């Protein structure tokens, strides 16, 4: 049975699709009996124990983030929960009738003629599948073989929701999805009333949807009552306590080893017991050290910087590019001018289909623009990590991929390193080096592509969706590497938290081939982008209004209003002059104040006002006359 068909799908219930929409109100979560309960589950793969005793339970309304390093067994645990795999021992209890839907990392569509066939498999009626495909924006009549990575993921999600299961298990559901679709998925999961168990590298996604966290480490599962937003504080508190216990055990172990070194006989019963306790303490000590090192057991990334004395790395002037498609012209860039300087960290963001990858290829000179030019620094050394990992040959072994020319070493940032030692930095064990690339998981392929790309010194590092399939600890280390990278970074990503941590500016599409550069990471870009779109809308409206308005003829003489006003002033000035003269004559009478103080005050006030009015009138007349002379000249 293929991964896509694995898991039990629920028959479609007779309920209108709108009853499940994200806006639906659900009853507040209350204490519920568990749908799933695992008790002391143990599993070994070959000689290696994977689960040492997993115990957990999940109830309706819980949305659990399952975290742990790559290889810890997260996907395997989900297969046990969904009855796709059996544990070696322990109990797995499921409430009778519980149904599951699983969204795997790489869904397989073999044997399905159309997308609708895939989504509607196992459903009593197809209207549920059609409704979900419409919600996720995919044509049901499409051939699955023609789907992009993002479309494949949306189809897999539509299949899961159409089945209306009690439990949804999601393995890296945000891979290849753009931010609007990720936010839509967040809303759907928050509205879901069953159990959600999700493995994801997208920290912002986990923070937004999870109600608790399951931490899989050293074959055990620790459960936090809080969502992933509090994971770091919770995990740190656990590790601090474990370090305290480790110190206590180390002190006791030293004392017991001192007792043993004294040659005390182990024949007597009490000494036999003490010797057994010593062996137990040694085992406990080793397990505790392994647990504390678990989060540190991640890839050691570093990127070399090639020599460059040029401050300007890339300069684009008037860049325009349009492609003809069956749906009409697709404008990637229109009159784009951009300077990328040494040390810039630019995130290129936007929905799928906005042309982010194509824009990068334009800036790198891999695609010729229709108009404009792109200039590069003379010493530009580019490392380009493509999201498709096309540089990897599935027939090659890991060893051959790292050293295609043969030998047992490779140059890493100008230094000779043994292949096994370098591969260990990226979590590949010596016994894996002869394994074919085609047999690697998505996360392992990603790490291998990073290992190959980061071995070369570069002045410009271009990364297209580098976070896909990486575990959270490896993401933290990749962030640290990028923060210490001294070259220039161009990063295409939908991972909001990763963008916030690594870039200092973002290049965002406004539509119709126009792009705007904003300061800060993804979160900062959202407010700035909203303002930029408002300005663009206002500017377009103003241009449209100006284009529609009839063009005025050049003015060569005064307007009727100015002509009329000047005639009024011509009549007003003599009147004011006469009034001022009469008032001044009256005020010259020395007996006026004694005879009539009120009349004296009134005339005095009025003469001041009249003089101000006369001055204003004369000034206005002069301004109109200057305008007349200007138009005549």
pLDDT of residue 253: 58
pLDDT of residue 252: 60
User: First CA to last CA across the chain, in angstroms?
Assistant: 90
Q: What is the mean pLDDT of residues 372-400?
A: 85
Query: What is the percentage of the chain residues whose pLDDT exceeds 70?
Result: 80
pLDDT of residue 371: 94
> 48-61: per-residue pLDDT in tens?
788 989 999 999 99
Taking Cα atoms as reference points, which of 496, 458, 462, 498 lies closest to residue 362?
462
Residues 208/186, Cβ–Cβ less than 8 Å: yes
pLDDT of residue 21: 39
Q: What is the mean pLDDT of residues 129-151?
A: 92
pLDDT of residue 273: 55
pLDDT of residue 483: 81
pLDDT of residue 56: 93
Of 67-71, 241-245, 266-270, 513-517, the least confident: 266-270
Residues 294/70, Cβ–Cβ less than 8 Å: no
Nearest-10 crossing angle of helices 127-135, 149-162:
140
Edge to edge, the sheet with strand 212-217 lists 100-103, 167-171, 195-199, 63-67, 212-217, 220-224
Taking Cα atoms as reference points, which of 130, 136, 123, 133 lies closest to residue 164?
123
What does the angle CA 170 – CA 157 – CA 331 come to, to the nearest 5 degrees? Answer: 120
Tell me the pLDDT of the chain averaged across its residues.
Answer: 81
> 329-369: per-residue pLDDT in tens?
889 999 999 999 888 899 999 888 888 999 999 999 999 99
pLDDT of residue 270: 45
Judge whether residue 19 has pLDDT over 90: no
Residues 386/361, Cβ–Cβ less than 8 Å: no
Q: Residue 145's CB: how many other CB atoms inside 10 A?
A: 9
Q: What is the mean pLDDT of residues 83-103?
A: 92
pLDDT of residue 1: 43
Taking Cα atoms as reference points, which of 340, 362, 57 lies closest to residue 223?
57
> 277-321: per-residue pLDDT in tens?
545 554 554 555 555 555 555 556 666 665 544 588 999 999 999
Cα(423)–Cα(75) distance, rounded to whole angstroms? 24
| pTM of the predicted model over 0.75 | no
> For residues 105 and 545, which has the higher predicted lDDT (pLDDT)?
105
- 614 band by pLDDT with thresholds 50, 70 and 90: confident
pLDDT of residue 29: 42
pLDDT of residue 26: 37
Q: Residue 35's CB: how many other CB atoms inside 10 A?
A: 21
pLDDT of residue 223: 93
Taking Cα atoms as reference points, which of 427, 461, 449 lies closest to residue 71?
427
Strands 312-325 and 409-412, by their bridges, are unpaired
- 2 band by pLDDT with thresholds 50, 70 and 90: very low
Cα(418)–Cα(411) distance, rounded to whole angstroms? 9
Identify the H or E element spanning 630. helix 597-632
- 169 band by pLDDT with thresholds 50, 70 and 90: very high
- 510 band by pLDDT with thresholds 50, 70 and 90: confident
> 452-464: per-residue pLDDT in tens?
888 888 889 999 8
> For residues 263 and 630, which has the higher predicted lDDT (pLDDT)?
630
How many contiguous H segments (helices) and E segments (strands) does the chain have? 18, 20
How far, in Å, are 381, 450, 549 from residue 415 at the CA level?
17, 17, 68
In order, the DSSP letters of 44-106 are: EETTEEEEEEEEEEEETT-EEEEE--TTSSHHHHHHHHTTSS--SEEEEEE-TT--EEEE-SS
Of 123-137, 281-295, 380-394, the least confident: 281-295
Cα(189)–Cα(63) distance, rounded to whole angstroms? 8
pLDDT of residue 31: 54
Identify the H or E element spanning 116. helix 115-120
């Amino acid at each position: 049975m293929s991964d896509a068909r694995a898991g039990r799908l629920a028959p479609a219930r007779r309920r209108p699709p709108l009853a499940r929409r994200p806006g639906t109100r659900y009853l507040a979560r209350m204490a519920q009996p568990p749908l799933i309960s695992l008790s002391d589950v143990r599993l070994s793969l070959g000689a290696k124990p994977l689960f040492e005793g997993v115990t957990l339970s999940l109830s309706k309304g819980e949305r659990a983030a399952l975290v742990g390093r790559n290889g810890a067994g997260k996907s395997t645990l989900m297969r046990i929960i969904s009855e796709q795999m059996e544990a070696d021992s322990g109990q797995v209890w499921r409430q009778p009738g519980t149904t599951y839907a699983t969204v795997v990392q790489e869904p397989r569509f073999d044997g399905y003629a159309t997308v609708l066939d895939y989504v509607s498999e196992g459903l009593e009626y197809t209207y549920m599948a059609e409704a979900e495909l419409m919600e996720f924006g995919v044509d049901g009549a499409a051939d699955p073989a023609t789907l992009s990575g993002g479309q494949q993921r949306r189809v897999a999600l539509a299949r899961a929701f159409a089945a209306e299961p009690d439990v949804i298990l999601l393995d890296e559901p945000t891979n290849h999805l753009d931010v609007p679709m990720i936010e839509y998925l967040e809303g759907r999961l928050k509205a879901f009333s069953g159990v959600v168990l999700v493995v994801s590298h997208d920290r912002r996604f986990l923070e937004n949807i999870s109600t608790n966290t399951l931490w899989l480490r050293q074959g055990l599962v620790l459960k936090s009552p809080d969502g992933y937003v509090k994971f770091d504080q919770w995990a740190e508190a656990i590790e601090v306590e474990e370090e305290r216990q480790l110190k206590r055990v180390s002190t006791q172990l030293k004392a017991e080893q001192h007792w043993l070194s004294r040659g005390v006989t182990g024949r007597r019963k009490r000494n036999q017991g003490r010797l057994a306790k010593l062996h137990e303490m040694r085992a406990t000590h080793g397990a505790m050290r392994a647990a504390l090192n678990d989060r540190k057991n991640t890839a050691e990334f570093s990127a070399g910087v090639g020599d460059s004395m040029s401050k300007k790395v890339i300069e684009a002037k008037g860049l325009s590019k349009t492609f003809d498609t069956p749906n009409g012209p697709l404008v990637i860039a229109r009159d784009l001018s951009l300077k990328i300087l040494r040390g810039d960290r630019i995130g290129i963001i936007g929905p799928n289909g906005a042309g982010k990858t194509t824009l990068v290829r334009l800036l790198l000179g891999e695609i010729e623009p229709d108009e404009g030019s792109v200039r590069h620094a003379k010493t530009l050394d580019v490392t380009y990590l493509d999201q498709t990992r096309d540089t990897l040959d599935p027939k090659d072994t890991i060893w051959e991929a790292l050293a295609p020319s043969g030998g047992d070493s490779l140059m890493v940032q100008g230094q000779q390193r043994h292949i096994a030692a370098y591969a260990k930095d990226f979590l590949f064990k010596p016994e894996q080096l002869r394994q074919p690339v085609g047999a690697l998981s998505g996360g392992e392929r990603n790490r291998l592509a990073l290992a190959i790309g980061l071995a070369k010194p570069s002045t410009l590092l271009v990364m297209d969706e580098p976070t896909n399939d990486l575990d959270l600890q490896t993401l933290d280390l990749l962030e640290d590497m990028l923060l210490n990278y001294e070259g220039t970074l161009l990063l295409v990503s939908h991972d909001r938290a990763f963008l916030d941590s690594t870039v200092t500016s973002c290049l965002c599409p406004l539509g119709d081939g126009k792009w705007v550069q904003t300061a800060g990471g993804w979160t900062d870009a959202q407010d700035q982008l909203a303002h930029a779109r408002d300005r663009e809308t206002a500017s377009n409206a103003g241009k449209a209004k100006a284009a529609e308005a009839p063009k005025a003829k050049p003015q060569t003489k005064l307007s009727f209003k100015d002509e009329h006003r000047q005639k009024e002033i011509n009549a007003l000035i003599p009147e004011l002059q006469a009034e001022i003269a009469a008032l001044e004559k009256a005020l010259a009478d020395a007996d006026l104040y004694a005879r009539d103080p009120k009349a004296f005050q009134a005339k005095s006030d009025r003469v001041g006002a009249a003089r101000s009015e006369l001055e204003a009138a004369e000034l206005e007349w002069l301004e109109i006359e200057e305008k007349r002379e200007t138009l005549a000249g």
